A = this chain, B = another copy of it.
Amino acid sequence: MDEFALIRRYFAPLSPAAAGVVLGIGDDAAILAPPPGHELLMTSDTLVAGRHFPLATASFDIGWKALAVNLSDLAAMGAAPLWFLLALTLPDPDEVWLAGFADGLGSLARKHGIALVGGDTTRGNLSITITAVGSVPTGTALRRDAARPGDLVCVTGTLGDAALGLRLNGFASRSPCAQSEHDLVALRARLDRPTPRLEAGLALPGLATAAIDLSDGLAGDLGHVLAASGVGADLQADALPMSEAFARQAEARDRLALQAAGGDDYELCVCLPPDHLAAARAAIAPLPLTVIGTISAEPGLRWQAADGARLKPELQGYQHFDGR
């Protein structure tokens, strides 16, 4: 099957009539009408097979995750998703694989009303680049560079699940502890089908001062906020929110590494003034928003243990971990 037949069969159904789409896939470029009074948000993320997902990952999950990681970036800016472009490089036009991929991509796209408007298919090692476009009312985007001393540092959801799911599925060392099948499935789902926090992101402009999505791990990603804002932070290691599956399956000595530097959380890290906390929690409920520390004027990222002792430098070093 040639490129054009592939596009028609599997991807044309992901390009429905949608707001602002004057002309979708099928020409040299899409023609798009941006919403008046809004700014656009644009982001591109690439997933490479064997690097950003295990080679054996189901194609449904690859399609889902390729879009999810981009939507997570839009969520962190407080944006509503509009359109996306798909650049798909794959070794062979395998129809079973493609049907699953398009199904996973389309499931998440339909859930958030984002339309496929263009892209490219090429032959090569499996790799997916998606460019996603969203919008915010002009001037309301959440940025990294406006965190202020005294702000609370908060995270949505729970941290470390995807990293533990990856570890327990054979990419890294096996955990010696007893594992219930149920926990493994829950942890693995967080790795394979992350949930972009779009509703939370949309609710936060006006309440948060800064936000970032957690893709490389809290320590590294929050480090970008601190650097861009010219501030520092003091975090409580024991405050990092855990899922029940994580609490049961992770060994105590591994927890901070998995939660602070494991990556693939796709939660939001949000800075906000203390008097906005209650409103922010109400706005994103039932998704939990957990306070994990405080922004300070002193540069750097400092971790405290439950007894108030400062954690050793080698643990602080996780902020330089490069998960990719």
- A-side residues, CB < 8 A to B, are 2-4, 22-23, 26-34, 36, 39-46, 48, 51-52, 73-74, 76-77, 79, 83, 85-87, 89, 117-120, 122-125, 127, 129, 131-134, 136, 138, 141, 143-145, 211-213, 224, 228, 322, 324
Which single member of B29, B42, B52 contacts A73 (CB below 8 Å)?
Answer: B29
* Chain B residue at minimal CB-CB distance from A212: B28
Cβ–Cβ contact A48 & B122, under 8 A: yes
In the complex, which residues of chain B have a beta carbon less than 8 angstroms from the beta carbon of A73?
A: 28-29
Contacts of A125 in B (CB 8 A): 124-125, 127
Report the Cα distance A134→B32, complex, angstroms: 10
Instruction: Knowing A27-B77, A40-B32, say if A124 contacts B322 (CB, 8 Å).
Output: no
Which among A22, A45, A46, A123 has the greatest number of chain B C-beta atoms within 10 A? Answer: A46
Q: Are B122 and A28 in contact (CB under 8 A)?
A: no
Apart from A32-B39, A34-B39, A87-B131, what are 18 other A-B pairs with CB-CB below 8 Å?
A: A22-B39, A27-B77, A27-B143, A27-B144, A28-B211, A28-B212, A29-B42, A29-B76, A30-B42, A31-B39, A31-B40, A32-B40, A32-B42, A43-B118, A44-B85, A45-B120, A46-B87, A48-B124
A44 contacts B86, CB within 8 Å? yes
CB pair A41–B33 under 8 Å, yes or no, is: no
Residue of B nearest to A136 (CB): B31
> What is the minimal beta-carbon distance from A268 to any residue of chain B, in angstroms?
10
Name the B residues within 8 Å of A74 (CB-CB). Answer: 28-29
A120 to B324, CA, bound (A): 12
Q: Which residue of B lies closest to A210 (CB)?
A: B27
Q: Does B134 lie within 8 Å of A29, measured CB to CB?
A: yes
Contact B122 A87 (CB under 8 A): no
Contacts of A39 on B, CB cut-off 8 Å? 22, 31-34
Quick one: which of B41, B51, B131 contacts A131, CB cutoff 8 A?
B131
Residues of chain B lying within 8 A (CB to CB) of residue A132: 29
Across the interface, which residues of B come within 8 angstroms of A85, CB to CB? Answer: 42-44, 131
| A43 contact set on B, CB distance < 8 A | 28-30, 85, 118
A29, B79: Cβ atoms under 8 Å? yes
A9 to B97, CA, bound (A): 39
Contact yes or no, A123 B31, CB < 8 A: no
Return A142 CB to nearest CB of chain B, in Å: 8
CB pair B32–A122 under 8 Å, yes or no, is: no
Asked, given contacts A31-B39, A41-B32, whether A46 binds B129 with beta carbons under 8 Å apart, the answer is: yes
Question: Does B28 lie within 8 Å of A213, measured CB to CB?
Answer: yes
Q: Is the CB of A324 within 8 A of B123?
A: yes
Residues of B within 8 A of A145 (CB): 27
Q: How far is the CA of A129 from the CA of B45 in the complex (A)?
A: 10
A134 to chain B: which residues have CB within 8 Å? 29
27 A-B interface contacts by CB (under 8 A): A22-B39, A27-B228, A28-B76, A28-B211, A29-B41, A29-B73, A29-B132, A31-B39, A31-B40, A31-B41, A32-B42, A33-B138, A34-B39, A36-B36, A42-B85, A42-B117, A42-B131, A43-B118, A44-B85, A44-B119, A45-B120, A51-B122, A51-B124, A85-B131, A87-B129, A125-B125, A127-B127
